[in-house]
Chain A
Amino acid sequence: MDEYKIKLETFEGPIALLMHVIEKNQVDIYDIPIAVVTEQYLAYIRAMEEFNIDIASEFLVMAATLLQIKSRLLLPKPPATDQQMEEIDPRQELVERLLEYRRFKHAAGLLEDLLHQREKLFSRPPRDFGTKLVLPEGLKLDDLIEAFAAVWESAVDEFAFIAREEISVQDKMQDIIQLLRKNDGRMEFTNTLTRSGSRIELVTSFLAMLELIRLRRIRITQDDSFGPIFLMMGEVEQ
């Protein structure tokens, strides 16, 4: 192989790179010429080093795997034992991973096509019908007094059961992300209290905010102590 002009593309990961090498050489995925492929894979990694691209450790793990497979293929095969053990091709596991990766690469392409087709159809965003507030007609002052009297006289239970409000941190996290998206990625913390505004909601909301910060989904700023806390979308896009 006198392929020394290497066009550097960015590869998502070692599997993607290996797949590229295999496709470029148009070799049978079930019978990979491991020496050629390993050599070219390593050439890419060296080129990446030359261009000072940080090489993720996964790329090196794959390189080591390739070299190991290569050396195992070079070793003389042990004489057949009595048990006649089925000999496993050292490439087997790698081939399976590649096949699976290729399957989902195809699937991604298919989804891309579907998306493309769908993008040609335009639909209206759902309408917000809101609520129509209709004022009651034909009421007299007497009616109001009567209604008040009815309430006044009705026996009020001394005890009532109030259902505890269940808001999970998970729900609140979703709330915050959605609210942020609606508000162009910036909002004040107190605006996240959209439900009952109860103390439980406040605490849950605060915990959700902390969790989101930990996951680097959002960032916050607070100009001075006890001042308003501002939430912003974090950069998680890859």
Chain B
Amino acid sequence: MFYHHLKGHIEALLFAYGNPITTDKFSEILEVDRENVTMLLEELKQDMVNSDRGLTISEVADGYQLCSKPELAPIIERLVDVHESRLSLAAMETLAIVAFKQPVTRLEMENIRGVKVDGVVNTLTDRGLIREVGRKDAIGRPILYGTTEEFLKCFGLKNLEDLPNLSEFIDSERP
């Protein structure tokens, strides 16, 4: 392929940046159109899969990010104590509501969960997983919440459309 020599460039950029990089950004830096960038990324990814390399490229938050291969997680965990700070069940449920129903108000979350959500909403905001995205045009102008880019990164999602389809559950609910 014509742009073959740019694979190394891409790898270097991914390594240097750490955060996900979008195809737009690659295309701007390398002065190559987006289709070719995507192709190069795919090829690079394949090269990594096929070899004994420890790294892989993951698609996340509308971009590409250099990561260690998932099967190597146990090895890395031997190197360092992986800091675990789990989200509580309550936080997880509330986050699910925000993710699938956004934009959504506290009251709407409370109606579904049947309990107050003030504490969990604060926790999720502090963790940068959700944020205020506006105000609802209703009495009291309640705050609307939505998910953040950090949420996408945390959950390894390309974008919000990458979320599993909720309607699938609805169909599977009928016995």
Contact = CB atoms under 8 A, between A and B. Distances in A.
Pair from one complex: yes
Interface of A: 12-16, 28-30, 56, 58, 62, 97, 99-108, 110-112, 114-115, 117-127, 170, 177, 181, 215, 217, 236-238
What does DSSP make chain A's interface, helix, strand, loop or mixed? helix
Interface of B: 15-19, 56, 58, 65-71, 73, 76, 82, 87-93, 95-97, 99-100, 111-115, 119-120, 122-123, 126, 132, 154-157, 164, 166, 169-170, 173-175
A109 B2 CA distance: 45
Q: Ordered nearest first, which 9 A-B pairs have the shortest CB separation? A: A13-B115, A118-B156, A15-B114, A120-B70, A238-B119, A120-B73, A121-B67, A107-B96, A126-B18
Contacts of B126: 177, 181, 217, 236
A238 B18 CA distance: 32
A104 B88 contact: no
Contacts of A122: 67-68, 73, 76
A121 B169 contact: no
Contact of B169 (A29, A107, A215): A107
Given A110-B164, A111-B95, A112-B92, A103 B19 contact: no
A66 B38 CA distance: 57
Given A104-B97, A123-B66, 4 more contacts: A99-B173, A115-B154, A236-B126, A238-B123
